[in-house]
Structure 1
Amino acid sequence: MKEDFLHYLWKFKKFDALNLKTSNGEEITIINVGQYLELAGPDFFNSQIIIGDQKWAGNVEIHLKSSDWYVHHHERDEAYENVILHVVWEHDTEIFRKNNTEIPVLELKNHVDILTIVNYKTLMTPKSWIFCEKQLKEINEFTLKNWQERLFFERLERKSKSIYELLEQTNNDWEAVLFCLLAKNFGLNTNGAIFMKIAQTIPFSIIRKESFEVENLEALLLGSAGLLDSEKEDSYFNNLKFRYFYLLHKYQFEKKNVEPVQFFKHRPDNFPTIRLSQLANLYHTQQNLFSKISTSNSLQNIYEIVEVPASSYWQNHYQFDKESPKKKKKISKSFIDLIVINTLIPLQFAYAKNQGKEISEDLFILLNEVAPEKNAIMDKFTSFGIKPKNAFESQSLLQLKNEYCNKSRCLECSIGMELLKKS
């Protein structure tokens, strides 16, 4: 048994609250369990309790055993001087304040229904993947849908933090923020962090000024990625290399070293050369990109904006100096779906929040049009009876797995709490 189970019992009064007594035999009446604090200090703040004939207002601390008070050294901490009740599963010793007054103790183990304990142990018994995998099918659709909605917005709130950090770094330039986020998206998992660093090394004012020459944009991106550092006979390579060093001189900014981009284990269409060329062409063909897509709630409209090809040179190349069969290498709709999920939706959410606007319904509509991600986590949820129908559901399931299941936060999860109520 863990303390978080006792937190759950106290927070939702999942025990016989009508016949409570302290370890010294005084009757206890709970008026308000208090506010659950997941911070340093007592577990529940501003509780209101009647002990005997005296009404108390203060904090409640919860432990598995009374002696844990001393194990955690609370007797040395002023923050615990205002504890009015010590709630424990097992009472094994008396606890005193600094003025030698005894802190009342409530022992819970004889006040909790056996079925609640059985459900808890069933839920928390290790399984092959997540604790509740064999019980997921039992969750009613209403509970699941409401929880998915909360999970989705939790995920957006988390992603917004990094967006606001970027906004501060770019002097509140939303176009520059979008450029950095798109670069990360174009790099996928392997090169995403490197592509973002590349985007951050190039002042976005230069991208704006040079957007009318696609070769200049390619030169800036490929050069900053270190892909123009060698010597080759290829004329297109040498053209880009000349442009890159000319632009460095023109704008008086230094090349900053980034980690080498990775080709290994990528399908050729995802090679960094192809993705950087597509990114260059996107900014060449679409001026003021942020203003065009920041408020778009039409997936088809986004496809039309973003569905650009790599430059003509890359139609028969994947790397410099190596010809390949001709292929247009247009950004696919499935890749744009990933951009919508990972960049556009979080950016729209953060921008609307920044502007004090409410766009939740628009985000739902847009993500319901987008196919769910295909990955091992979605495959697992599907095998246990929860198959995502769209990107809204797959995003919420990723949040569930990463932030709740992986961290054993079952008692903070609506699914876990529902399973504990089973009769």
Structure 2
Amino acid sequence: MKEDFLHYLWRFKKFDTLNLVTAQNESITIIKTGDYLELSGPDFFNAHIKIGSQKWAGNVEIHVKSSDWYLHNHEKDAAYENVILHVVWENDTAIFRVNNTEIPVLVLKDYVEKEVLDNYNALVSPKTWISCEKQIHEIDAFVFKNWQERLFFERLERKSKFVYELLEETNQDWEAVLFCLLAKNFGLNTNGLAFLQMSKSIPFSIIRKESFEVENLESLLLGTLNLLDGEKEDVYFKDLKFRYFYLLHKYQLEKSFIDPVQFFKLRPDNFPTIRLSQLANLYQKHQNLFSKIIALKSAKNVYELLNVSASSYWQNHYQFDKESPKKAKTLSKSFVDLVIINTIIPIQFAYSNIMGDSASEDLIDFMNEVAPEKNAIIDKFSSFGIKSKNAFETQTLLELKNEYCNHKACLKCAIGMELLKNN
């Protein structure tokens, strides 16, 4: 038995409410179950309950066992002094207030039908990839769509916390925040952390000043990530190294410890050398990039804005001293889609929140234009009949799996609630 199931039973009155009696043998009439705020303190606030002949207004606390009250140290917490009813599955000990009066107890298992319990166990018990994998395709389309919107904004709320942290670190410099987010995005999963460390170690004021000469930007980015260490015969390498040490001296920068970048198992187009050159060219091409990013309303506009390639040297190189067949290394559509999902949409969401604007519908429309992501989670949902047409839908499925299904949080999920209701 889990406490969240007891919350569900109480919240939606999924038990016989007509003949309730406390463990102390007093009749109970539920006038209002209370507000389920999921905050610290009692589980339900401002409940209205008649116990015996006395009407009470106060809070309701729910536990699997009544002794959990002491296990959680509620007797030492003043927030629980206004509990008027203790709802439990098993009553294994009496609970007393500070003034030594006993708190009335409702033993819920005496009033729950076996069918309700069986439905719950059938939903959460199977050791499957997700609990509802055999039923999820049956969910009403309206319910599923509304839940997807909720999931989408929950995901953005979590992602925006990182944006707010960067704002604090950069003294509210949105351009600097964007640079950090883009750098992390350009590093992908393999080198994202190292690229982020690099972006934080270079004051963005220097990026602004040096953005008119792409070789200076490249030297800063490559040098900070230790890709200009050692000696090579390559003329371009020597030029960038000279520029890097000149800029270190000019701005009195100190070398920071940064995780080493990885080339192993990466496709050549994702090599850090190529991605850093593309990032440098993006900032050379667009000054005041943040204002342009915030103004974007469609994926088509993003593809136009991020139409940049690596510098000419990298057209026939992936690494220094190793020439390769010539290839224009522009940002691919699939890579730009990742930038939209992981940088542009989160920063637009965070910015609109701080500005007090509502951009909800615009962001959904934006994501509806972006191609669906391809990964194992999305493929698995597809096998259950949940096909994704765009990135809005894939992002919501990732949130569903990682934040709900993985934690067996079926009773906090609209899909789980709908299945229980239907069953």
Same fold? TM cut 0.5: yes
**For residue 413 of structure 1, what is the aligned residue in structure 2?**
413
1:75 and 1:356 map into 2 onto residues whose CA distance is 41
Note closer, same or farther for the CA distance 1:295–1:98 as it changes in structure 2 (3 Å cut). Answer: same
Q: Cα distance, 1:40 vs. partner?
A: 4.0
Please list the CA deviations of residues 361-399 of structure 1 after superposition, one character each: whole Å capped at 9, or x if unmatched: 111111101011111110111111211111111111111
Q: Where in structure 2 are there 5+ consecutive unaligned residues?
A: none
Which segment is superposed worse, 398-407 or 274-283?
398-407
Report matched runs for 1:36-51 at 5 Å: 36-51=36-51
Unmatched tracts of structure 1, length 5 or more: none
Report the Cα offset of residue 37 of structure 1.
4.5
Aligned length: 423
Q: RMSD over aligned Cα, in angstroms?
A: 1.4
What is the CA–CA distance in structure 1 between the aligned matches of 2:177 and 2:74, rounded to whole Å? 46
Q: Deviations over 1:95-141 (max 9, x none)?
A: 32233322111111132233221110011113331111122112111
User: Partner of 2:58: helix, strand, or coil?
Assistant: strand
Distance 2:73 2:344 in 1: 48
CA distance in 2, matches of 1:37, 1:359: 26
Corresponding residue for 1:83? 83
Q: Which stretch of structure 1 is more off in the superposition, 330-339 or 84-93?
A: 84-93
In structure 1, C-alpha distance between the alignment counterparts of 2:123 and 2:228, rounded to whole Å: 56
Aligned residue type for 2:29: T
CA distance in 2: counterparts of 1:358 and 1:100, whole angstroms: 51
Call closer, same or farther: CA 1:72–1:256 in 2, change over 3 Å: closer
Corresponding residue of 2:264: 264
Shift of 1:67: 3.2
Query: Once superposed, which parts of structure 1, at least 4 consecutive aligned residues long, lie more than 6 Å away?
Result: none
When normalised by structure 1's length, the TM-score is 0.97
Alignment-derived partner of residue 251 in structure 2: 251
Relative to the length of structure 2, the TM-score reads 0.97
| Alignment check: 8 A CA contact 1:127 1:133 kept | no
The match for 1:177 is 177
Aligned identity (percent) is 73
- AA aligned opposite 2:413: C
Mean CA deviation greater in 108-117 or 268-277: 108-117
2:324 paired residue number: 324
- TM-fit CA distance, 1:196: 0.9
Letter in 2 for 1:142: F
Aligned to 2:64, what secondary structure does the other structure show? strand
Q: 1: CA distance between counterparts of 2:422 and 2:229?
A: 64
Contact between 1:283 and 1:289, CA under 8 Å: does it hold in 2? yes
Q: What is the CA–CA distance in structure 1 between the aligned matches of 2:40 and 2:149, rounded to whole Å?
A: 29
1:374 aligned partner, one-letter code: K
Cα deviation digits, residues 183-202 of structure 1 (max 9, x gap): 00000001111101101111
Cα deviation per residue 1:153-197 (whole Å; 9 max; x = unaligned)? 011111111101111211211111111100000000011111011
The alignment status of 1:142 with 2:145, answered yes or no, reads no
Q: For 2:69, what is the secondary structure of its paired residue?
A: helix
Match for 2:257: what amino acid? N
Does the CA-based 8 Å contact 1:155-1:399 persist in structure 2? Answer: yes
- State the shift of 1:293 in Å: 1.7
Q: Does 1:10 align with 2:22?
A: no
Residue 351 and residue 25 in structure 1: after superposition, are their counterparts in 2 closer, same or farther (change >3 A)?
same
Distance of aligned partners of 1:357 and 1:41 in 2 relative to their CA distance in 1, 3 Å threshold = closer
